[in-house]
Amino acid sequence: MKLVVRVKLLPTPVQAAALEATLHTCNEAATWAAEVAFEENARRPLELRKHAYAEIRFRWGLGAQAAQHAIKKTCDAYTTLRANLRNGRYGRPGSRRHTRASGKPVVFRPEAAQPYDDRMLSWQHQAHTVSIWSTAGRLKGVAFTGQDGQLEVLAAHRRGESDLVCQGGKWFLIATCDIDEAALNAHPVGFLGVDLGIVNIATTSDGERHCGRRINRKREQDRNLWSKLQKKNTKSAKRRAKKYAGKEARRNKDINHKISKRIVAEAERTGRGIALEILTGIRERARLRKPQRATLHSLPFAQLGAFIAYKAKRAGVPVVYVDPAYTSQECSKCHHTARGNRPAQGVFACRVCGFVEHADHNASHNIAHRGWYVWVCGARSTAPELTLIA
Ligand SMILES: [Zn+2]
């Protein structure tokens, strides 16, 4: 399976300037190639090469590899655009947005990501440095840093191209890793149901609750500060607001990594699969007061679901997705389903059999049951192929 690892580069000011100049040059060249591709209607690499390769090398002084990448990047951008036009991302054909998107060449931002292959970028994992091509010559000994676990994955499994990106003045390499996955457990003894929520971020049918109270409180504080800073509308306030947004995202990601690791390890240890709700349901069925809505939309449910899915795939633990309808109103003992079974937010009390349990715990039991049915009906794991882990 493919995983993506992101490492942060720590270039010296001179190296950073060289990287910046490189990105700008490559993107200028790609933007020019995109114009050529548009005018000549040459949007496949072989055709575009004929029209643009020599001039890219001559005019921007790019080496053979970099010129090839500029052409490939341009063609990839047109492929993506074509796919987006086709699946309606720009509205219907003939609409203003559709016409605007299809009626002009693709333009690359000066700091758009640049792909690097093994001839342009080499890794020294022991020393935590890379040697990277730039328009100012090869930059040697550019330091990088990342989390230990991810650096191990990188050293052992990196394959193919990496992308150089600049975000908020910081430099990153995004590397693709090809990881062996364990053989899928084709005979799970049952399913561990996982209910994702707001008060409890994840509740398993084993009764383990990953509470989000502390996170929610911190998030609220951050959001208050953030809106205050936004109102101020000065440069330094904007900078601080951005910093806080990044901090929140990192904290959530870290928490999601820990929760998903525990859940997958537990399923693997006990020979079970994992059942999750189809994630799009969470937003649709939630009816909430306004202040809670902000919490809901900023909560990275999708991320936790994706983390569980890829960690499970790696471990050979099957994952199934179940219909989320009424999981919170159904009694997990007698299956009586009614809104009246939920006398309060956190409490489940069945009106028929009298079964009482924590509401999320009851829901996770339902998810586990449904997961078993989905599995028996022959559904396969639908874990996504490529997931960002850093
Ligand atoms: Zn009941």
* pLDDT of residue 276 exceeding 70: yes
Torsion of CA 193, 298, 260, 159, to 10 degrees: 130
Distance of CA 347 from the midpoint of ligand 1 (Å): 13
- Are the C-beta atoms of 267 and 273 separated by less than 8 Å? yes
Distance of CA 275 from the midpoint of ligand 1 (Å): 22
- 210-241 per-position pLDDT tens digit: 876 555 666 667 667 767 776 777 788 877 77
Enumerate domains of the chain plus CATH numbers.
Answer: 20-113 (no CATH), 115-178 (no CATH), 191-218+263-388 (3.30.420)
Q: Return the pLDDT at 239.
A: 79
Distance of CA 25 from the midpoint of ligand 1 (Å): 67
Distance of CA 173 from the midpoint of ligand 1 (Å): 53
* Other beta carbons less than 10 A from residue 76's beta carbon: 14
Out of 5-9, 95-99, 230-234, least confident range: 230-234
The span from the CA of 345 to the CA of 366, in Å, is: 17
Which comes out higher in pLDDT, residue 211 or 32?
32
Q: Return the pLDDT at 297.
A: 45
Of 14, 15, 10, 24, the closest CA to residue 172 belongs to 10
Of 332, 334, 387, 323, the closest CA to residue 359 belongs to 332
- Are the C-beta atoms of 198 and 296 separated by less than 8 Å? yes
Residue partners of 202: CB distance under 8 A and separation at least 6 = 194, 195, 196, 209, 210, 259, 263, 304
Out of 108-117, 168-177, 363-372, 374-383, least confident range: 374-383
Q: At 145, is the secondary structure helix, strand, or coil?
A: strand
Distance of CA 369 from the midpoint of ligand 1 (Å): 15
Q: Return the pLDDT at 385.
A: 44
The span from the CA of 52 to the CA of 14, in Å, is: 31
Distance of CA 188 from the midpoint of ligand 1 (Å): 27
Helix-then-strand count for the chain, H and E: 11, 15
* pLDDT of residue 285 exceeding 50: no
Round the average pLDDT of the chain to a whole number and report it: 85
The tally of CA atoms less than 13 A away on the side-chain side of residue 26 is 31
Distance of CA 365 from the midpoint of ligand 1 (Å): 13
The span from the CA of 304 to the CA of 26, in Å, is: 36
Distance of CA 148 from the midpoint of ligand 1 (Å): 48
pTM attached to this predicted model: 0.68
Residue 76: band (very low, low, confident or very high) from pLDDT cuts 50, 70, 90: very high
Distance of CA 207 from the midpoint of ligand 1 (Å): 18
Distance of CA 330 from the midpoint of ligand 1 (Å): 8
- 117-148 per-position pLDDT tens digit: 999 999 999 999 999 999 999 999 999 998 87
Distance of CA 337 from the midpoint of ligand 1 (Å): 8
Residue 289: band (very low, low, confident or very high) from pLDDT cuts 50, 70, 90: very low
Q: Which amino acid is at 3?
A: L
Q: Return the pLDDT at 363.
A: 94
Distance of CA 203 from the midpoint of ligand 1 (Å): 20
* pLDDT of residue 284 exceeding 50: no
Distance of CA 333 from the midpoint of ligand 1 (Å): 5
